[in-house]
Structure 1
Amino acid sequence: MTTLLSAVPSSALRVTGADRLDFVQGQMTNDLRSCPTPGHVAACFLNVRGQIEQFARIYRRTDDIYLHLDAGQAPALAERLRRYVIFDQVEIQDLSEELRTVHLWGGWPVLAAEGWPQEPGQVGAAWTATLGGAAVLLGAVDRSGQLGLDLHYLAAQEAAVMDVLHAQLSVTERSWAELQTARVAAGLPEPVLDGFLGHLPQEVGLDIGGPLPAISYRKGCYVGQEIMARLEARGKARYGLSRLQVPAGTPVGSEVHSAGKAVGHTGLEAGGLALCRLRLDLPADTALEVAGQPASIAPLSHAL
């Protein structure tokens, strides 16, 4: 088995303090309380209309909460969280410059190191390991259609971590673009990369049963929770996640048209495919266009 390694452009926040769990729990769409320690969940931060403002993978650890975000996203989320600090005993730190993240994929990597998981577990599992004297936070994440590992570590210790990975796993490096091609082919959304911010989670594959579940309908209140409850009661949003064959180079956010009307928009194009937020009431034989070129639906394997 060849282990593939891709650097993950990232930003990060760390929340500490006695009230950290209650505070973060009250801001996010998913249920961090039900998460084991250590463990992680995918979650959104919504506006009052229920639309996604930020997305993060949120790790619950013994002494802190670690929020892993896409590159450049930490300042906006930190500003949002600080607006809601009133009497809460919490501290919010932006660690984006201090941390690095890589993803191991192409098969579960088995490595002889303290704390390294020998079995995959499932999405949401997390561990702490020691590589070359460096402390590493591991998270089971599907970024390619096959369960892999996100590795988070201090930038100052990157050389030690890479030495162990290359020596024991003989990793083959793959670009971020290659990992995105695998992700889109597998039908896995990433809200920031796909330009899905500003839309309802249920419209872009983040609902329960979707490829990237990021909602709990049983947790306490948060901004946008009333809209989520209404959608649960109604049973279905007007849009859903689809995947299209599109022309190479199609920009993120390109409108999808049918009979001259906009019926959706595309996410990131990779390998001639793009995930798409698309109306659910379109007939199966509807002719679609993107940028004046024909586009066709490539069915998703996930239950949406």
Structure 2
Amino acid sequence: MTVLREFHEDYGASFVAVGDRDLPADYGRPERTQRAVRNAAGATEMAYGVLVVTGDDRVDFVDNAVSNHVPERDGEGCYALLLDPQARVRTDMYVYNADDKLLVFTPPETAGDLAEEWRENVFIEDVEIREATEEFAVFGVHGPKSTEKIASVMNGGTPPDEQLAFDRGRINEAGVTVVRTDGLTGEEGYDVVCAAADAETVFDTLLTRGLNAAPFGRTVWESLTLEAGTPLFEYELKDRIPNVAGVRNALDFEKGCYVGQEIVSKVENRGRPSKRLVGVRLDDTTEGGADVHHDGDAVGELTRVRYSRSLDAHLALAYVAFDTPADATVSVDDTRGELTELPFVEGSDRSARLPTY
């Protein structure tokens, strides 16, 4: 459940389930909202589960479990994957070094199981893990004016310049941590983390004080991230092999990672993948999961289809056979499509998850 349901309802929100939470779908007229984010700034409630990891061995413990190197200095973060023994993605996460603890942000539906599993795998290490999802609220601010937006309301700190770095400060007397995001919408962006008790004060300030920001929901989020070529966990990453998804920013190529106490092979996967993630511009809409055909042969499947209000076009992401021509004409159900280089839209930032092969 959103921490601010009545607040969102007052703004006219409808809701959608994201994992095990209800979040705003949109506030009406999403085409205007999307233009506002692309041209200035918008604010949204983010869907994260949160783990708090403490103890002297916390960095080594999490570092051994995930696909990327966990930062050792306060104020830094990384994007990482948890893999199964076949090196498929079980969940993705952001890991932030917050002085005497690590904060781990996951898709909301995976946090509880991950906390339990990690606790079971603590043996002689000095590590404690707890789920703390209900203790925090996280709001995203995105758009080419998002830095100015944050600067106009943040006291005692400054918006960080580097992706996944963070600074601490206050917004309307509430303590906040402000993280520079990794460009998932194709625009400059920040995650604003606060105590759940301060959620209404912080979100209202983000919307109405300083430089204004338009509220937006999951409908616009999924369209913006698709335009930016960003694979999302629930559509493009779950149960995929990392080098097929092309999310090379989640990988430290020289390390292995563990499932329980059994090592998963190094995550470098240097061989050519069987498929790659591409953009498709469609003549008409269709459903995610639909087969993609080229020259009469099935070569892949769509993962996510959305109407782009920025381009006035039906866009999709798809996994296709790796050797499918980059500019191939394809058919999907009863409509025609063209494979397209990602991102579809160039904004004020570039998604760090943009598929790379």
**TM-score, reference length from structure 2:** 0.75
Counterpart pick for 2:79 among 39, 42, 45: 42
Change (3 A) 1:16 1:49: same
Query: d(CA) in 2 for partners of 1:28 and 1:154?
Result: 27
Question: 1:9 matched to which residue of 2?
Answer: 47
CA shift for structure 1 position 20: 0.9
Question: 1:151 matched to which residue of 2?
Answer: 192
Alignment partner of 1:134 is 2:174: yes
Counterpart pick for 1:25 among 63, 70, 78: 63
Query: d(CA) in 1 for partners of 2:203 and 2:154?
Result: 13
Question: 1:275 matched to which residue of 2?
Answer: 317
Question: 1:228 matched to which residue of 2?
Answer: 267
CA shift for structure 1 position 19: 1.3
The alignment of Structure 1 onto Structure 2 pairs a total of residues equal to: 292
Question: 2:214 matched to which residue of 1?
Answer: 172
Query: d(CA) in 2 for partners of 1:73 and 1:190?
Result: 14
CA shift for structure 1 position 190: 1.6
Letter in 1 for 2:180: A
CA shift for structure 1 position 266: 2.4
Q: Which moved more, 1:170-179 or 1:261-270?
A: 261-270
Query: d(CA) in 2 for partners of 1:258 and 1:25?
Result: 42
| 8 A Cα contact 2:245 2:355, kept in partner | no
Query: d(CA) in 1 for partners of 2:355 and 2:247?
Result: 12
SS in 2 for 1:181: helix
Letter in 1 for 2:200: A
Question: 2:311 matched to which residue of 1?
Answer: none
Query: d(CA) in 2 for partners of 1:23 and 1:202?
Result: 24
CA shift for structure 1 position 17: 1.6
Letter in 1 for 2:267: M
Letter in 1 for 2:319: R
Letter in 1 for 2:48: S
**TM-score, reference length from structure 1:** 0.87
Letter in 1 for 2:173: G
Q: Which moved more, 1:35-44 or 1:290-299?
A: 290-299
SS in 2 for 1:169: coil
Alignment partner of 1:81 is 2:118: yes
Question: 2:254 matched to which residue of 1?
Answer: 218
CA shift for structure 1 position 221: 4.2
CA shift for structure 1 position 249: 5.2
CA shift for structure 1 position 286: 4.3
CA displacement, residues 231-275 of structure 1 (integer Å, 9 cap, x when unaligned): 22x3x3222221112443523x43333356443232222222222
Letter in 2 for 1:69: T
SS in 1 for 2:273: coil
Query: d(CA) in 2 for partners of 1:171 and 1:283?
Result: 41
Question: 2:233 matched to which residue of 1?
Answer: 191
Letter in 1 for 2:330: L
Change (3 A) 1:177 1:285: closer
Letter in 2 for 1:96: T
CA displacement, residues 155-189 of structure 1 (integer Å, 9 cap, x when unaligned): 21112212432222322112221122111111111
CA shift for structure 1 position 58: 1.1
Consecutive unaligned residues of structure 2, counting only runs of 5 or more, are 1-38, 308-313, 344-353
Query: d(CA) in 2 for partners of 1:88 and 1:37?
Result: 21
Query: d(CA) in 1 for partners of 2:115 and 2:291?
Result: 31
Counterpart pick for 2:143 among 99, 106, 112: 106
Root mean square deviation of aligned Cα: 2.3
Letter in 2 for 1:67: V
Judging by fraction of residues, say which structure has more helix: 2
Query: d(CA) in 1 for partners of 2:137 and 2:68?
Result: 25
Query: d(CA) in 2 for partners of 1:83 and 1:201?
Result: 26
Counterpart pick for 1:242 among 278, 284, 300: 278
CA shift for structure 1 position 217: 1.0
Query: d(CA) in 2 for partners of 1:88 and 1:3?
Result: 44
Counterpart pick for 1:257 among 293, 305, 330: 293
Letter in 2 for 1:214: A
Change (3 A) 1:171 1:286: closer
